[in-house]
Amino acid sequence: MKAWDTNLLVRHLVEDDAAQLKVVRRELELAARRGAPVWIADVTLVESFWVLRHGYGLEADAVCEVLLALTEDARFGFQSGADVRLALERTRIKGDFPEHLISLAARRAGAVKTQTFDRAVKRFAEFKVL
């Protein structure tokens, strides 16, 4: 199995560098032929979210749609696929993807609440706004 960092994933998603895209597509093809999905870490998705939002100027909803579609692509495997999908769905309601993913990981680790100063997430049960 191979793992990708943020710059490979972003090249795959935005297709903005022809030479690098060619390499990314070749690597994805090789992984598919081997029947081994490319592994994507949570931190890679968080970085990609921020790069697409702030580097490429995409709206949060658009980034959520792109990343949700990615989680449906069988060529990829994810560190926390179910949590990623739920965090993206919650981001579409209110808040930010990284904080939702943090709260879900914390819950999985046994935390009752994730403490935050961000009032945008006060409606979600995993958070305690201080």
SS3 per residue for the chain: CCEECHHHHHHHHHCCCHHHHHHHHHHHHHHHHHCCCEEECHHHHHHHHHHHHHHCCCCHHHHHHHHHHHHCCCCEEECCHHHHHHHHHHHHHCCCHHHHHHHHHHHHCCCCCEEECCHHHCCCCCEEEC
- 18 located within any domain: yes
Q: Which amino acid is at 48?
A: S
- 62 located within any domain: no
Range of the domain at 97: 80-130
Q: Divide the 130 residues of the chain into consecutive groups of 10 and give the mean pLDDT of each group.
A: 96 96 96 94 97 96 97 96 96 93 95 93 91
Are 9 and 49 contained in the same domain? yes
- 95 located within any domain: yes
Are 84 and 122 contained in the same domain? yes
Whole-model pTM: value is 0.91
- 10 located within any domain: yes
- 67 located within any domain: no
Domain count, the chain: 2
- 25 located within any domain: yes
- Give the per-residue pLDDT at 56: 96
